[in-house]
Amino acid sequence: MTGTLNLIGAGLIVIGGGIGLGQIGGKAMEGIARQPEAAGKIQTAMIIIGALLEGLAFGALILGR
Amino acid sequence: MMIAKKSIKFVAILALVFTSFNAFAGGGETPSKGGQINTPESIKGYIKHHLADSHDFTLYSYTNDAGERKHVGFPLPVIVWTSKGLKTFMSSAFHHNDDGHVVVEKGGVKFAKIHSKIYELEADAEHVSFDETHHATNAHRVLDFSITKSVFGMLFAGLLMFLGFGSLAKGYKKGAIPTGVGRVLEPLVLYVRDEIARPNIGEKKYKKFMPYLLTVFFFIWILNLLGLTPIGFNVTGQIAVTVCLALFTAVIYLTNGSKDFWAHTLWMPGVPVVLRPILAVIELVGFVLIKPFSLLVRLFANITAGHFVVMSLIALMIVLKKDFGPVASTGMSFVLATFIMVIEVLVAFLQAFIFTMLSALFIGMAVEEHEHDHAHH
């Protein structure tokens, strides 16, 4: 079998990003369920944090390519 | 009656959208040059070709019965700064050649196009020769100011914005309620103002930054959506474009930084003096390098990845044809590509929103003024 370690690194990045996004999404849902009237604010904050996380993951993917 | 009319319009728009998906799928199937695209390598090459900028505007290409490649589209002007000054000609002079075999002579300078880059041949050279790593040995790059496909896309988006917002602005002279295109644009402008600028920058100072935030929001959004049409732009997926956009944001928040912002960045009050220089370095690197870098990489990577995934899913119908037969493979790739395409429409908006949002957030951090230092967390 041949290949580069880069692919394993990419897989690790995706696992990390997935865990992070899952945490953000899950907690946001919990928050919305507890306080439905704050749904808009929670959603905006969720998207921002998601984007920050995504930027980190994409940065790692691009630098590691 | 009214509802019926609206639903007819809705169905018409839906049909238009879906036919454009079809056309895009068709576009993915056509070979770029030479023979058929039916191997994973040639598909990879085709996708790379699509993601890169181009000097031609090719809508689609096909092989006719006589076995010639035909390209449907139009040429774009090539404007280059060479060792003998500025030279301009149309890209049709290269006859869609992309491997340096067609040499064009203009005003005593010989040009060749290799992988969408214009090269100038040395004075005594007749043909481009390559070394074993496929680098040209007797040609060098020139300063390229050409109207490439991406530049054309940006100009097109600029024109759309100029016409749309021009008519919106003109509409306010007649009355407070806009008509026509303005009806669609006004809520979007208000959305950027009330959801992005006001909460992040603050009631007092947001007005100064509204022009930039609106421009950047609509520029990115329109170009993202244009990238999903069968025309095949990939402007916001060019790293040069996103670097420039991120630089604009960085320059704006660095030049508008308040006294408090610089005080907090360079000499953080309320922490031990030993720590202050270390914090200053971290904060400076964060504001000058890391924040713009994350902005530019996020947009670039999202759009590039989106195009890559859509085109790969379309390519599934060619790759899987041998194993699953034409109907099953085409159906599978159509369903998957349509699904991802719908997500991409969402991503197109989301990325424009995120870029504008984070720009506003950083600007807000920079212009914020504190009543007194103890009020700071």
What is the structure's pLDDT at B217?
Answer: 95
Q: In the predicted model, is pLDDT for residue B372 greater than 70?
A: no
Residues from chain A contacting residue B361 (CB–CB below 8 Å): 48
Give mean pLDDT, residues B346-364: 92
What is the structure's pLDDT at B134?
Answer: 76
> Best interface-test mutation with B: which of A54, A61, A63 has the largest number of B CBs within 10 A?
A54
Task: Kindly indicate the confidence band of residue A29, based on its pLDDT and cuts at 50, 70 and 90.
Answer: very high
Tell me which residues of chain B, numbers 314 to 373, contact chain A at a CB-CB cutoff of 8 Å.
350, 353-354, 357-358, 361
Residues from chain B contacting residue A59 (CB–CB below 8 Å): 293-294, 297, 301
| Chain B residue nearest residue A59, CA to CA | B297
Residues from chain B contacting residue A56 (CB–CB below 8 Å): 294
What is the structure's pLDDT at B33?
Answer: 45
What is the structure's pLDDT at B145?
Answer: 86
More confident residue, A14 or B129: A14
**Closest Cβ–Cβ partner in B195, B293, B354 for A51:** B354
pLDDT averaged over every residue in chain B: 82
Q: In the predicted model, is pLDDT for residue B245 greater than 80?
A: yes
Residues across chain B = 377
> For residue B114, what are the β-bridge partners?
B99, B117
Tokens 């036919």 map to which residue? B19
| Chain B residue nearest residue A44, CA to CA | B195
pLDDT in tens, B25-58: 333 334 444 556 777 788 888 888 888 888 888 8
Residues from chain A contacting residue B353 (CB–CB below 8 Å): 47
Residues whose CB falls within 8 Å of the CB of residue B157, separated by 6 or more in sequence, listed in order = B219, B222, B223, B226, B235
What is the structure's pLDDT at B371?
Answer: 66
Q: Which range, of B26-35, B68-77, B181-190, B253-262, averages the lowest pLDDT?
A: B26-35
Residues from chain A contacting residue B300 (CB–CB below 8 Å): 62
Give mean pLDDT, residues B187-200: 92
> Best interface-test mutation with A: which of B297, B304, B356 has the largest number of A CBs within 10 A?
B297
Task: Kindly indicate the confidence band of residue B219, based on its pLDDT and cuts at 50, 70 and 90.
Answer: very high
Residues from chain A contacting residue B297 (CB–CB below 8 Å): 55, 58-59, 62
What is the structure's pLDDT at B24?
Answer: 41
What is the structure's pLDDT at B19?
Answer: 44
pLDDT in tens, B57-113: 888 777 777 777 778 888 888 888 888 888 888 888 888 777 778 888 887 788 888
What is the structure's pLDDT at B23?
Answer: 40
Distance in angstroms (rounded) separating the CA atoms of residues B206 and B367: 10
Q: In the predicted model, is pLDDT for residue A33 greater than 50?
A: yes
Q: Is B216 on the interface with A (CB under 8 A)?
A: no
CB contact under 8 A, B302 and A54: yes
Question: Which of B108-112, B116-120, B138-142, B284-288 has the highest mean predicted lDDT (pLDDT)?
Answer: B284-288
Task: Kindly indicate the confidence band of residue B338, based on its pLDDT and cuts at 50, 70 and 90.
Answer: very high
Give mean pLDDT, residues B343-360: 92
CB contact under 8 A, A48 and B358: yes
pLDDT in tens, B274-329: 888 888 999 899 899 989 998 998 999 889 888 988 988 988 888 888 888 889 99
Q: In the predicted model, is pLDDT for residue B130 greater than 60?
A: yes
CA distances from residue B369 to B7, B200, B276, B282, B294 in whole angstroms, order as listed: 51, 13, 20, 21, 25
Task: Kindly indicate the confidence band of residue B11, based on its pLDDT and cuts at 50, 70 and 90.
Answer: low
Residues whose CB falls within 8 Å of the CB of residue B214, separated by 6 or more in sequence, listed in order = B189, B192
Q: Is B191 on the interface with A (CB under 8 A)?
A: no
What is the structure's pLDDT at B29?
Answer: 36
Query: How near does any CA of chain B get to the CA of A42, in Å?
Result: 13
Q: In the predicted model, is pLDDT for residue B158 greater than 60?
A: yes
Q: In the predicted model, is pLDDT for residue A1 greater than 80?
A: no
**For chain B, what percent of residues have pLDDT higher than 70?**
88
CB contact under 8 A, A56 and B302: no
* pTM for this entry: 0.81
